[in-house]
Amino acid sequence: MVEIRPDGYLSPMAQPSGRREPPFSLTADFLRKYDVPGPRYTSYPPAPHFRTGWAPSEILSLVERSNSTGDRNLSFYVHIPFCPKQCLFCGCTTEIGKPGSAVVAYFAALSEEMDQILPLLDENRPVSQIHFGGGTPNAAPVKHLAEVVQRLLRGRKLSDRAEIAIECDPNLVTFKKLAELREAGFNRISFGLQDFDKTVLDSVNRGFPRIEPVDLIGEAHRLGFTGVNLDLIYGLPHQTPVSFAQTVQRTISAKPDRVATFSYAHVPWAKDHQKTLESKGLPDAEAKIAMTVAAFEGFSDAGYHPIGMDHYALPDDELALAQESGQLHRNFQGYCSKRTTGQVVSFGASAISQLHEGYIQNVKESSRYVELVEGGSLPVERAYILTRDERFTRDVINSIMCQGRLDLREIGGAEGMTESEVKDRLAPGLEGLDSFLADGLCTFDGNLLSVTASGHLAVRNLAFLFDPLLGASEGRYSRTV
């Protein structure tokens, strides 16, 4: 059971003494009502709005302007778009079974792309994060990964408590590999387990790790990795509310610092291989709702703090602490802390840079990426430069999604907007609040919109109110549950 804390967040029952709010239970009715398609807001505007046709000078200027606008600290993202086999639920940009020679050529191109971009970034900007995603970055030789880290840091300083993180397929992790990654400087690791049930994993062409997850996580902790994360997915064939509740309990026993429980996004129009899952029997919406409830109750009872709707973190983990102190943030990797994120400069096929003034996305195919970089061109496919209004909307949506509040007296500050200008701009969204207020999802006193405990679980729906681009034709989105 969970209860509502005075600041509106959900906590397990054991809380400091004092006034207690009535407990809130996540119910199927609640989820049913608020389960609609829409963006996840890992960026604003979402990626489907990015456009082609930019001149190289416009892209380079956007990167350079990040030195003098927005956060000073830099976060580097490196995409490794290769996997040994195709998981049938996969929504990532990756290529399957590429030969070693293609991997070597890709790492050479990464080095050249870094030569194109890094000189544009002020060397005095601290590096607070390096993140390898994919694909399966841990399928690549650690030697190559270490060389990328060294190149990114040449002539630069890591900030205090900087993160060097890698997403791993636990099927390809050994204790030796973990030690090598630690030796190469990695201090954060995320294991994409997806489920503890072997039948579920077999049905999606993903195996169960040779090393038990509890042992992998224990060894990662012993080696000094912090913020150790386990990813789960719900909504896969053969998953039931009961089997998923068991997976939640086994996850808790494995003691990760963080857990991400992603709702399986079925987008067969974009990912052809996902069609195969339809014949294996996907759980219906009711079952998925019950799984969401199982995860929420299981992790909350075990002392994990819910972060947004799909992340959970132990109370002393940086994500939970960031939420407590209003420092939670969001980027393409999901929830993160403001301390580590800064402006994200990304490298590799399909990688997206998230800068104060805009976004830049590289071409998706690795062979095209290598060809462009080798030919001396920028490997950019699409980009977006935000207007002042759009930067303001991004602040509004981030404030709701990450801080669970929107203060009309503060939110326009970064863009130099007056309070009355802010109220005018937000008026259409505020007019849509009535049903949220009636359902107890938020409070609003004319200046401060506060998301309540139950509202925290429909926070994307609240953000939709303030998104003027919602409903524009670009993109089809997965559902909120």
Residues that bind ligand SF4 (CB under 6 A): 83, 86-87, 90, 92, 94, 134-136, 169, 192
Distance of CA 422 to the CA centre of its chain: 28
Q: How far is CA 356 from CA 42, 65, 66, 402, in A?
A: 14, 9, 6, 17
Residue 136 or 353: the one with the smaller Cβ distance to ligand SF4 is 136
H or E segment and range at residue 166: strand 158-168
Q: How far is the CB of 106 from ligand SF4 (least distance, A)?
A: 15
Residue 87 or 166: the one with the smaller Cβ distance to ligand SF4 is 87
**Structure tokens given for 305:** 């703090």
Per DSSP, 190 falls in state E
Strands 311-313 and 258-263: antiparallel
Cβ(4)–Cβ(305) below 8 Å: no
> Which phi and psi angles does 328 have, rounded to 5°?
-75, 145
Strands 74-80 and 343-347: parallel
Q: How far is the CB of 47 from ligand SF4 (least distance, A)?
A: 17
CB proximity list for 302: less than 8 A, separation 6 or greater: 12, 252
Residue 201 or 465: the one with the smaller Cβ distance to ligand SF4 is 201
Strands 328-331 and 334-337: antiparallel
Residue 94 or 331: the one with the smaller Cβ distance to ligand SF4 is 94
Q: How far is the CB of 138 from ligand SF4 (least distance, A)?
A: 10
Q: How far is the CB of 168 from ligand SF4 (least distance, A)?
A: 9
Residue 63 or 233: the one with the smaller Cβ distance to ligand SF4 is 233
Residue 144 or 423: the one with the smaller Cβ distance to ligand SF4 is 144
CB proximity list for 239: less than 8 A, separation 6 or greater: 195, 197, 200, 283, 287, 291
Residue 204 or 217: the one with the smaller Cβ distance to ligand SF4 is 204
Q: How far is the CB of 314 from ligand SF4 (least distance, A)?
A: 25
Residue 274 or 354: the one with the smaller Cβ distance to ligand SF4 is 274
Distance of CA 243 to the CA centre of its chain: 25
Residue 90 or 223: the one with the smaller Cβ distance to ligand SF4 is 90
> Which phi and psi angles does 110 have, rounded to 5°?
-55, -45
One-letter amino acid for residue 254 of the chain? A
Q: How far is the CB of 94 from ligand SF4 (least distance, A)?
A: 4
Q: How far is the CB of 133 from ligand SF4 (least distance, A)?
A: 9
Residue 92 or 433: the one with the smaller Cβ distance to ligand SF4 is 92
Q: How far is the CB of 92 from ligand SF4 (least distance, A)?
A: 4
Residue 90 or 285: the one with the smaller Cβ distance to ligand SF4 is 90
Per DSSP, 23 falls in state B
Strands 127-134 and 158-168: parallel
Q: How far is CA 477 from CA 46, 244, 269, in A?
A: 10, 24, 11
Q: How far is the CB of 87 from ligand SF4 (least distance, A)?
A: 3
- CA triplet 49, 51, 57: central angle to 5 degrees? 140
Residue 37 burial class via C-beta count within 10 angstroms: exposed 0-12, middle 13-18, buried 19 and up? exposed
Question: How many whole angstroms separate alpha carbon 38 and alpha carbon 182?
Answer: 38
One-letter amino acid for residue 214 of the chain? V
Q: How far is the CB of 144 from ligand SF4 (least distance, A)?
A: 17
Q: How far is the CB of 191 from ligand SF4 (least distance, A)?
A: 11
CB atoms within 10 A of CB 46: 21
